[in-house]
Structure 1
Amino acid sequence: MVTMPRFTPLLVLVAALLHAMLVSPAVMAQDLPQVYITDPARLAAVRERVRAGDPSLQRAMDELILLAEASMDKPMISVVEKPKAPPSGDFNDYVSLSPYWWPDPSKPDGLPYIRRDGEINPERYEYDVDKLGTFGETVRWLGFAYYFTGEERYAREAVKRVRHFLLDPETRMNPRVQYGQFIPGRNEGRKYGIIETLRLRWVPDAISLLAESEAMTEEDLAGARQWFADYARWLDTSEFGVGEREGPNNHGTWCTAQTAYFALAGGDEELVRKMAALIPDRIAAQIEPDGRQPHELARTRAMDYSEFNLRGHTEMAVLAERVGIDLWSFETEDGRSLERAYAFLMPYLSGEKPWPYKQISDPKHDYYAQSLRRMAIATNDPVYEETVASLSDLTGAGRVYLDLIISLPEDFPKP
């Protein structure tokens, strides 16, 4: 066992007060948004700069508007739109095919399917995973676009989709993933399907930003938050949720972080604390003293998965901060920590060193930048920003995240 993270409500309060001193009176005078994996004071400060015409933010705003306008044109979708009911008989249940499983070419009917790690079977997109992704992306970009621009048409479209996908009895997704990542010829669903609801990251934040709009009613807001509370409870108590949370690799990390995120959005801070208490043992088990993550290095996209697991830890640390727990500085006696894991990984992320493990696809720099930025903010160390600066293809969503959503404090030391 390892020591528990220390509870630091006083330090969190002091940090919040110091940060508030850096925010302009115009921002302090308004209510800060109720967001969870986004810093509310910095988000409000960035919006003030956007509305004042700060030219340094124009590129990111242009990208955000492009994403929002594209979202306006996407079809209204629902998980009930599938040709066959799940085993429950309820079309409102989410169903997805496991991504790396393919028909066995040696069998006439292809059953049971066989695994090809890192290679996605296109049959997967016949089920609900793309619908979940489309909903998540659409509400995310429309919600943030509304917040920064104040344009009600973005809010109206986002709220319509929230009602359709989460609230309306005929079209809503049930708040559970009992039939995710099924494998033909092997099972009807697996705990690994839970990781697919990462496509709902940022949705509770975006929904909260829509609370300012004329389109979002109190009933809509309460209903959406209840959906996430119900899903967090299912994650915490179901056989699949418990099993996925106990996974030794990124699946366990992200199940824990998802549970905490959706619980916080649903108002259950005690469940957030329960998830935060699991992280020290997870860091001790996943990260070697030299910073390697063996479970992730064994994958065919080892760089992506190494960063992916750490990104889950950084978001969990943000959520833990919201309830007064410090996970950023946790370290085992033999030196296992988030900082040690990043110290191992950063020379490879930046291209300073050639990656010595498998990586069968191009690295996902837009995602890497998010977790590096969070580490920079948490540690106040510009070395992480130096690595961000070395990532050359940060366009589109990557630029929006860095300049608008996970922005640096104004007093951050220059790299």
Structure 2
Amino acid sequence: MFNSSYVLSLAWYYTGDARYARHASRILQTWFVDADTAMTPNLQHAQIIPCANDGRAIGIIDFSQEYTNVLDAAAILAATSAPGWTADNQRAFLDWNRQFLDWLVNSPFGKSEAGEDNNHATFANMQIAALALFTGDRALARQTTDAAKKLIDSQIRPNGSQPEELARTRSWHYSNFNLGAHLRFALVARKVGVEW
């Protein structure tokens, strides 16, 4: 899928082999730039269940688990003037992400996920902060990472346990999963001067 663009962009960065850059560029162009093939910048139909619903807010977490890697891929391609990735591609990619960020912040699904009490909130808010930073909205990135302190306080007890995750059937997985999102969130926070 499109997250392979990250591995390919790293391969380009470390080897200088233009084939990796061109392949990563084609993936990003197909999913986000080319008007005929680009995804719509929302997740309105994520986790759709045929004959039951048209999509669910919880589908946002599926996307947010790896999407920050895609942002990194585009940043690597742009910063290195990679073959196949033009300034126009970068502008179109930024525009797609600005539209997606607007949907994530303002849609009922986005608001629902960001307001959850468990790993769904951590991933949704981390994604908002990362997208805000990537698209140049440092104020939103800072505001979102500042608010993340409340997530830590509400999700993690002084003994390190995470009651919302421990209540799940795969508690070990979900506890680590949530901590991974917090770690990524902290990396974004550091870039806008927020220390936890």
1:288 Cα deviation from its structure 2 partner: 1.5
**In structure 2, C-alpha distance between the alignment counterparts of 1:274 and 1:189, rounded to whole Å:** 28
| Distance in 1 of aligned mates of 2:105 and 2:73 | 24
Runs of 4+ that moved beyond 4 A: none
AA at the equivalent of 2:14: F
Q: Deviations over 1:332-365 (max 9, x none)?
A: xxxxxxxxxxxxxxxxxxxxxxxxxxxxxxxxxx
Matched residue pairs, number? 193
Structure 1, unmatched stretches of 5+, are 1-133, 328-415
Displacement of 1:284 after TM fit? 1.4
Alignment correspondent of 1:301: 170
| Alignment of 1:153 onto 2:6 | no
Structure 1, residues 102-133: CA drift from partner, whole Å, max 9, x if none?
xxxxxxxxxxxxxxxxxxxxxxxxxxxxxxxx
CA drift of 1:184 comes to 3.8
What amino acid maps onto 1:210 in structure 2? L
Matched, 1:288 2:154: no
Paired position in structure 2 for 1:166 = 32
Deviation per residue, 1:209-262 (Å, 9 max, x gap)? 112213211001111122222211211111110110001000000000011111
When normalised by structure 1's length, the TM-score is: 0.45
Q: Runs of 5+ in structure 2 lacking a partner? A: none
Match of 1:175 among 18, 21, 41: 41
2:62 matched residue in structure 1: 196
**How far 1:324 sits from its partner (Å)?**
0.9
Does the C-alpha gap of structure 1 residues 315 and 199 become closer, same or farther in structure 2, counting only changes over 3 Å?
closer
Q: What CA RMSD, in Å, does the superposition of the two structures yield over aligned residues?
A: 1.2
Percent identity among equivalent residues? Answer: 38
1:318 pairs, out of 183, 187, 190, with 187
Query: Shift in Å at residue 323 of structure 1?
Result: 0.9
Equivalent residue for 1:53? none
CA offsets 1:128-182 (integer angstroms, 9 cap, x no match): xxxxxx111x201111100111111110111111111101111100110001112
Q: Tell me, what secondary structure is at the counterpart of 2:47? A: strand
Cα deviation digits, residues 6-31 of structure 1 (max 9, x gap) = xxxxxxxxxxxxxxxxxxxxxxxxxx
Whichever residue aligns with residue 209 of structure 1, its letter is: I
Amino acid corresponding to residue 75 of structure 2 in structure 1: S
Question: What letter matches 2:26 in structure 1?
Answer: K
Alignment partners' CA distance in 2, 1:284 and 1:208: 32
Deviation at 1:185, TM superposition (A): 4.2
Q: Which residue identity lines up with residue 188 of structure 1 in the other structure?
A: D
